[in-house]
Amino acid sequence: MAFALFHNTRAHSSLSPGWTTHKFFNPDEDTLKPPASLARLNPPILNPAQEGSFARHTLLKRLPDTATRVLRDNEATLPQDAKDSLLSLSEEVPNVPLRTPDAVEGGATTDIKHFNQEWDRWTRERASGNWTTALPLISTEMYYYRRILDATKYFLPKDARHLMDPFESQKKSSLASALASKAFLEAADKHLYALEHGPLAQPNLQALFLTLVHASLWSNQGDLALAPSDVSNVQMATQICTSASSKLLVDDTAAAFDLLLRRGAEAGAAKGVERVDIINDNSGVELLCDLVLADFLLAHHLAQAVRLHVKGEPLFVSDAMPKDVSSHLEALSLPPAPAPLQALAQRLRQGIEQGRLQVQSHMFWTAPRLFWEMPLSLASELSQAALVVVKGDANYRRLVGDRQWDWLTPLPEVIGDWFPSSALVLRTFKAEIAVGLREGQAAAAAEADPEWLTNGKFASIQFVPKLEAQASN
């Protein structure tokens, strides 16, 4: 089996138009460039060496807890050498020097070579330090998850656990919880009601767009990686509130809707924009809400196509992969899912068959790079979308360089001169980073909740239009 296909074979056997093959890039390929504001403002990078910080808690507690949870959840199926490797990995943090992840086997294909070269490059650049000095932290976290895959033999073709997701038991429990969650069911009900009683006048269409974007945002609270040692984390979907307006510090949803209307009118014949891309984050309730949003965009002709960018291999416990899109559609299409949800699943599957709903994984999304280190080939693909929806805290951290910019720094000043398309950035706060706030908001949030930056209860929806200079290139 070709390496470029193995990520997708469990998702769709025939790789119909909507299921694209997994893509790779050459680590030596030219990339995007950092923002001009980086050299001028020089914000500090998130530092896990800082005592008492959430970044340090992530490195010393949350990452080892993740390996411990994998060991516990897979106790019955993991061989002893895999168990030993997970225990050893937990003990490496923070003082043991980083080592290069295991080379993926399978012959001398260019894809495998590039995949191995990327991790070798990143590790060698940090060989003189340890876990605390290996920065940016977001990349080190991704490295830890790659090491979990090595420990569980994910990439080893001859092993019984080859391509077996070590987080699958958590994902299954989380999906069961998500299907019954108020956050998903309310979003789906409002969307399906509008389809049955449409067409919608523009104000109602905009209101529904806002509702579904908010559901896509707040459903990120179902992230399984925030508290990996908490066995009840798989029930987080039932606790999500999608109307926490006082904790939504920035809401640019209307600006994104205006862009879709304007660009759609330019396309003519009420076809909608050529494509909207969603850089997905978590499976479970968040992916379900993302699928509802995608169906809304297609059904109301706001977009001719929607492309979901998912991970090629397991990352951050619950991050969505092609197989998760498949499993979520299957769960929606079968009893006990009610008939309207089964119809939703059927429509989404038809969209995949027709190529209108596209599911794509790419090596970059799990590579230990910041977004401004994106290869130009992928940036060129994103530039073809009228709007790119960037989801989740990890993607946000990669977007802003994992740096602690001044809270009042406008997000366009951080990403506007290099991001390849107009962006709608959805994030619940789970790291000591915030950009684009108004005067006094940070102080008020801290007074209301001292953990506002890290507990996922505060959020932002930020729109950054594509610069005209970029659009003309």
> Can you give the pLDDT at residue 72?
95
Q: Which portions of the chain are predicted below pLDDT 50?
A: 1-6, 8-9, 11, 13-14, 471-473
Predicted confidence at residue 16, as pLDDT, reads: 63
Sign for the pseudo-dihedral over CA of 60, 55, 448, 429 = negative
Model pLDDT, residue 332: 97
pTM across the whole model: 0.96
Quote the pLDDT of residue 458: 97
The pLDDT assigned to 470 comes to: 54
> Is the CB of residue 212 less than 8 Å from the CB of residue 187?
yes
End-to-end CA distance of the chain: 39
Angle between helical axes of 168-179 and 322-333 (0-180°, round to 10)? 40
pLDDT in tens, 389-427: 999 999 999 999 999 999 999 999 999 999 999 999 999
pLDDT at 269: 59
Residues whose CB falls within 8 Å of the CB of residue 172, separated by 6 or more in sequence, listed in order = none
DSSP 305-360: -EEEEE-SS--TTTB--HHHHHHHHHHHHSTTS-HHHHHHHHHHHHHHHHTSEEEE
